[in-house]
A = this chain, B = another copy of it.
Amino acid sequence: NTLVPGVQAFLQELREKGRRILFLTNNSREGGEELQAKLARLGILATREEILSAVEIVGPLIRDRFGPSPILVIGGETLRRLLAEAGHSLVPLEAYGEARVVVLGHDFDFDYQKLTAASRAVASGAAFLAVNVDPRLPVEDGEFYPGCGTLAEAVAAASGVKPEVVGKPMPHIFRVALHRLGVPADEAAMVGDSLTSDVQGAQAVGLKTIWLAPPGTAAGDVRPDLTIRDFTEVLGRLR
């Protein structure tokens, strides 16, 4: 909830040069509207179309794959709303046996009953999608909350089935982003601070990558095209 130095000037420069921008997030609880408001509070103005959250693409993905489906949702209100808006029916927890798909997002109200229902539905053949598999939700003070990926691990352990991942580092979300931008992969660059989610994920789809390296970390086996500590390093470098 604080800005990395130079990010506003960098975004300004991108806009002045007519480059397209898209904010890409693995968020499994907040959709475009919420994130747009959050960015605005930080002083960054973005249109609704410039923000793509993993939570938004689950419903359309399931519709493309299976058609309108009965879904058991473990997750927050936005995820539930977006899935319903995408034409799916939401199965109550007790009726887990009717679910054709189980969708798992981050859920502060996760409990044993939800774990049991989701695991049983997946074990008996429902498709299993996790919005992301990030194990932690970092909190301001350096503390963390267990993330969507942690809940997915639990369901995977009990059901014996690994989830299909909708968000980064899997290709789907990057392809949706490129499609929305109307830009081929080799003309796009992904900027992010996670070597696995952002850099490896984007490289697999053919994007250039700029790694915003957290202090004290090294890239190791992953090789970003550019490594920066903050955005002042790239100011004035756009061709």
Residues of B within 8 A of A145 (CB): 116
Contacting chain B: which of A9-17, A151-159, A166-174? Answer: A151-159
Q: Mark A131-164, 1 if CB is under 8 A from B, else 0.
A: 0000110000001111101110110111010000
A135 CA / B158 CA spacing, docked (Å) = 5
Query: How far apart are the CA atoms of A162 and B40 in the complex, in Å?
Result: 40
Judged by a CB distance under 8 angstroms, whether A115 is at the interface is: yes
A119 and B150 form a contact (CB under 8 A): yes
Nearest residue, chain B, Cβ from A124: B143
| A109 contacts chain B at the CB level, 8 A cutoff | yes
Given A136-B158, A157-B146 in contact, is the A110-B115 Cβ separation under 8 Å? Answer: yes
User: Is B110 touching A146 in the complex (CB atoms < 8 A)?
Assistant: no
A144 and B157 form a contact (CB under 8 A)? no
Size of interface on A: residues with Cβ below 8 Å to B: 27
Within the complex, the shortest CB–CB distance from A187 to chain B, in Å, comes to 37
Residues of B within 8 A of A66 (CB): none
Complex Cα distance, B123 from A123, in Å, reads 30
**In the complex, per-residue mask of A95-112: 1 if CB is within 8 Å of any chain B CB, else 0:** 000000000000111111
Q: Which of A111, A123, A145, A157 has the most CB of B within 10 A?
A: A157
A120 within 8 Å of B (CB atoms): yes
State in angstroms the CA–CA spacing of A116 and B99 once bound together. Answer: 28
Q: List A residues at the B interface (Cβ < 8 Å).
A: 107-112, 115-116, 119-120, 123, 135-136, 143-147, 149-151, 153-154, 156-158, 160
* 11 more CB-based (< 8 A) A-B contacts, given A116-B146, A146-B158, A150-B158: A108-B112, A110-B112, A111-B112, A115-B150, A119-B150, A120-B143, A146-B154, A146-B157, A150-B154, A150-B157, A151-B154
A to B CB contacts below 8 Å, 28 in the list: A107-B112, A108-B112, A109-B112, A110-B112, A110-B115, A111-B112, A112-B146, A115-B146, A116-B145, A119-B144, A119-B150, A120-B144, A123-B144, A135-B157, A135-B158, A135-B160, A136-B158, A146-B154, A146-B157, A146-B158, A149-B157, A150-B154, A150-B157, A150-B158, A153-B153, A153-B154, A153-B156, A154-B157
